[in-house]
Structures are given as C-alpha cells and as structure tokens.
Amino acid sequence: MLDTHVRVKICGITRIEDAIAAVRSGADALGFVFYAGSPRFIHPEDARDIIRRMPPFVTTVGVFVNEERNRIEAMSRTSGIHSIQLHGSEHPEDCSGFDRPVFKALRVSGLESLASIQLYETAGILLDSAVPGTWGGTGTVPDWKCIGDFLDKDISGIRKRLILAGGLTAENVKMAVKIVRPWAVDVSSGVEFEPGIKNHEKMKEFTYAVHCATCA
C-alpha cells in the first residue's frame, strides 16, 4: 500500500476549457509547453490568461527545452507560472539560480540513464521515455520495473521528488504507480483527442485511476 497521495500533473494545456476540466477532474498541477517545436506549444501571454483564471492551490508549470536562461525567466514572469520544468539536455549547473522551483526531466533508456538522477538537486525529477528526435509527449512507456528497482536501492530519498511520465493512461497508471511509487505522475498524450486538445472524460478517468492506486 502506498503511504502518500500521488499528485497528478496534466501537461500540454492550450485551452481554458481544458484547464478548467483538468482542475475539476482532480489535477494538482497544469503544464504549459513553451517549446516552439512542440505541437502543444502555447505563447506565454496565452498561458497567463489561462493561469489567471485558475483557483488557488493549483500549481502551474512551464516546460522549456534547451532554452536560454534569460528567456526562461522572461517567459516565466510573463506567464505567471509557479514552477519551471527543464525538459532538454540541461546540465545540473543549468538548473540552479532561478527564482522558482525547478523540475528536471530525464529521458530513461535503461539503468545507465538513471545514474545521473543524483546529480540534479532540483525540487523535482521527472522521468520520461527516451525516444530519439523528440523531447516528450510521445505516448511511449518507459521501463517501470527498471525504474522501480533502481529507486528501491536508492538511499537519498529520490522518490520524494519523483514525477513519472511517459505513455501513462487511465488503463496503465495504476500499475505504474504501484511499481514505481512516485511522488507524482505526469500525463499529456494519454488524455488527448489530439496534441494540445484534451479529452475531458479521459482526464477524469485518469485522476480517478491514480487515486484508486493509492488507496488499494
């Protein structure tokens, strides 16, 4: 049995109606992608208009990929996001010195790729699938057992700041949570009609499945 409530982040929000539906479904956090190469890209000004209409205690996260620090800071101020997610090939030293909490995303391709986790002293570590030529949102599932086994041997408490992503859906998230036991899960393509357009029913089913996993 899991001893903590697993938080839910719904990423790739581009429309106010989807943001409202995500919050109503029970999402704890919303992600806004500020990487122009993503089909879920949103301008910081448009994200700001959505964020301003969100209720208290909903965390908003800006996703950046190999972006310059001054642009990250500028877009963060403009949008009003609470946290920064660095989803590219940023080094540990690139993740410090911001005025907002930072989550570092790492792409999992095997046990070797997990070894670098301990180099990042960020507020959160997000584990996604490694798919050549992409930076996430592919719907590809990482090796949960590999991740779970690695974390079982960890003595530094990484699970307390671990966010699991990669191919999660309402059908598989319960199993993923039980194997990996993350602090939070992150979903994007698994609750969409198409990139950037969320399926409100799938979001409800997803958050319900996560909550069931923590109390079973």
Active site residues: 11, 128
Task: Give strand pairing partners of 106.
Answer: 127
Q: C-alpha 215: how far from its chain's center?
A: 22
Q: In 10 A of CB 156, how many CB atoms?
A: 8
In angstroms, rounded to a whole number, what is the distance separating the alpha carbons of residues 137 and 145?
21
Task: Give strand pairing partners of 63.
Answer: 33, 85
